[in-house]
Amino acid sequence: MKICIIGTGYVGLVSGACFADLGNLVWCVDNNEEKIELLNNGEVPFFEPGLEELVNKNFSSNRLKFTSNLKLAVSNSDIIFICVGTPTSKKSHSADLSNVFQVASKITKHINKFKIIVTKSTVPVTTGDKIEQLISKKKRKGLFEVISNPEFLREGEAIRDFRFPDRIIIGSNNKKVTKKLRSLYDPLIKKGAEFFSTNRRGAELIKYAANAFLATKISYINELANLCEKTGVNIEDVSLGIGSDKRIGSRFLRAGPAYGGSCFPKDTRAVTVTGDLFKTDLSIIKSVIKSNEKRRILLTERVKKILSNKIKNKKIAFLGVTFKPNTDDMRESSSLLMIPFLLKRGAIISYYDPSGEKKEFSKLINLSFCHNVYDACKNVDLVIIHTEWEEFKALDFKKLYKKKKFKIYDMRNLYSAEVMKKKGFKYYSIGR
């Protein structure tokens, strides 16, 4: 099939490369010309395991093309995916849809024959209706169809999630178009992905409902971890104990820092705004948002306590600063609050993250980036394991000690509390 993908961020670029890999002809469009030039030179503008190889493989075989010429890409495609960002609006907590509508009106100009326009960007329920109204002003109905096909891929696991999704959701009010989209996904359905079709608004809401539910699971286990710390219960036993009940399910029950990333925080906020707009109080999701905000402060307070309330001149090492491993993404990461908080109170911080130095921290004083774990942990008072990168899972703490013994705050429960205690480490973790 001939496909056009608009937006070469995580969702757009991963989807484009994966669709091309399934044998389709894919045009990826972005108005950022520098980005397009980079991609045409075989470079991927962000870190996602396996993506660069996949992009280059399909680029070389001419199935994947990059351009900033929207007209060229749209007029040569049958299916157009809108994959631009929908960040939290600057004015309210709703999703900022300006990119989506801008793209939709630009596409309108180049509709030369029947086109299926698909929103893959996460958009509030009724956005598809608005896009349809916008295009209808210039093009007759029957020349296009607007449908919703939400993406559930996780950063760091994006290619696997695309290739082996649990389900594919198509939201459309047109059966013929649903059939066409289903055939695009046929290779994945044959491998076991469930296919589910609903109306357009249904698919839009499913995306928010999924993200808000997962965020709820995490906040739920995080709050229980607080109780575990006070009652001498191990949160991991609780996760196992409840997760083995199939009605609950074991995934997304790992206690840790506040959840972050580009989706959970923004989507939970946006869906409560939609709720309010439709006079429906989504009170559970609202408390999840509050609980997550509180968590960022709570864990920082715990750091203070571990350091016996004396932060001034204390040397702290952060291992990992991204919101999760296998990504270079810093969006809504807990470290963005923790590090400035501790610096303000006089701490001296070193950090190491396998995805490299972070521009978000470039203006902070008394903060230094180190190129490995060993340098970061040299002569510190406290080591904080903030992100569960693979290389932090089997550290030789005795070797890291060198001249000075430090405390360890493992925010991802990577080590056994019992073993660490037996070995004589001053080890603190989450919910145990």
**Looking at 73-81, 162-170, 179-187, 250-258, which segment touches ligand UDX (CB under 6 A)?**
250-258
Any contact of residue 342 with ligand UDX (CB under 6 A)? no
As a whole number of angstroms, the distance between CA 147 and CA 119 comes to 6
Any contact of residue 7 with ligand UDX (CB under 6 A)? no
Amino acid 386 reads H
Cβ-based neighbour number of residue 330 at 10 Å: 20
**Which residue has the closest beta carbon to ligand UDX?**
263
DSSP E strands, 219-281: none
Which helix (H) or strand (E) is 304 found in, with range? helix 283-306
- Shortest Å, Cβ 422 to ligand UDX: 27
Are residues 410 and 299 in contact, defined by beta-carbon separation less than 8 angstroms? no
As a whole number of angstroms, the distance between CA 320 and CA 400 comes to 16
Amino acid 40 reads N
**Looking at 106-114, 251-259, 281-289, 389-397, which segment touches ligand UDX (CB under 6 A)?**
251-259
As a whole number of angstroms, the distance between CA 322 and CA 328 comes to 6
- Of 108 and 265, nearer to ligand UDX (C-beta) is 265
Which residue is listed with tokens 């693979």?
390
Q: Does residue 263 carry a catalytic annotation? A: yes
Any contact of residue 431 with ligand UDX (CB under 6 A)? no
Counted residue by residue, the chain has a size of 432
- Of 128 and 431, nearer to ligand UDX (C-beta) is 431
Give how many residues touch ligand UDX by CB under 6 A.
20
- Of 151 and 204, nearer to ligand UDX (C-beta) is 151
Among 18, 83, 228, 263, which one carries the catalytic annotation? 263
- Shortest Å, Cβ 241 to ligand UDX: 15
DSSP states along 314-379: -EEEEE--SSSSS----TT-THHHHHHHHHHTT-EEEEE-TT---GGGTT-TTEEE-SSHHHHHTT
Contacts of 132 (CB under 8 A, 6+ apart): 146
- Of 314 and 412, nearer to ligand UDX (C-beta) is 412
Measured at the CA of 174, the angle between CA 117 and CA 80, to 5 degrees, comes to 10
Site map 254..293 versus ligand UDX, x via CB under 6 A: x-x--xxxxxx-----------------------------
Any contact of residue 120 with ligand UDX (CB under 6 A)? no
- Shortest Å, Cβ 329 to ligand UDX: 8
Any contact of residue 154 with ligand UDX (CB under 6 A)? yes
Are residues 194 and 87 in contact, defined by beta-carbon separation less than 8 angstroms? no
- Chain positions 163 to 202 lying near ligand UDX, rule: CB under 6 A, are none
- Chain positions 207 to 226 lying near ligand UDX, rule: CB under 6 A, are 211, 214, 218
Contacts of 98 (CB under 8 A, 6+ apart): none
Any contact of residue 153 with ligand UDX (CB under 6 A)? yes
- Shortest Å, Cβ 226 to ligand UDX: 14
| Chain mean position to CA 260 | 8
Q: Which two tokens stand for residue 238?
A: 């609780």
Which residues bind to ligand UDX, rule: CB under 6 A? 151-155, 211, 214, 218, 252-254, 256, 259-264, 323-324
Active site residues: 263
